[in-house]
Amino acid sequence: MKKILGILGLLLAIFVVTWIVEPKFVSAYNLQNIIRWTSLFGIISIGVAFVIITGGIDLSIGSLIGLVGCLLPMLLAAGYPPVIALLAVVVLSLAIGLMHGLLITRLGLQPFVVTLCGLLYYRGFARWLTHDQVQVFGSSNEGLRQQAIG
């Protein structure tokens, strides 16, 4: 309990100092943006927490998110309906996670090696797919953007 209170105190101290240094920090838009990004990283960290609690490690999660983050706008630009595109990237993510799990549990490979290889492969594949260009949703998917914003 002391650790949690210490972390909460540190968070509040950082909040107050940032507010004093930059008064616009406490604007409604900025607080909404902080909550949005915190919730995203919170969801990601839940998955990583399961791996760490069981004594494993997953280095590939950032590259996998980058890969599906590139694939989703590409699928939407190719004319796929948003629901189909979202399902496709979720199924791909689940399949990759299953593949990692099978390589580690069934073949006995080290989690560090499997996920490091995944990190390099998914990042490289995303860069190859996009020709090292940034992928964006564009104005044709304004409805999807509004749903994400809330």
pLDDT reported for residue 128: 94
Which DSSP state fits 141?
G
Question: Which pLDDT tens digit goes with each residue over 58-89?
Answer: 899 899 999 999 999 899 999 999 999 999 99
Q: Taking residues 107-128, what's their average pLDDT? A: 94
CA–CA gap between residue 5 and residue 135 (Å, rounded): 41
pLDDT tens, residue by residue, 99-117: 999 999 999 999 999 999 9
Ramachandran category for residue 121: left, alpha or beta (phi over 0 → left; psi -120 to 50 → alpha): alpha
> Domains of the chain: which residue ranges?
56-149
Q: What does the block give as tokens for 5?
A: 């209170």
CB within 8 Å of 103: residues ≥ 6 apart:
109, 114
pTM assigned to the model: 0.67
| Average pLDDT over the chain, rounded to an integer | 88
Q: How far apart are CA 1 and CA 8, in angstroms?
A: 11
Tokens of 129: 């797919």
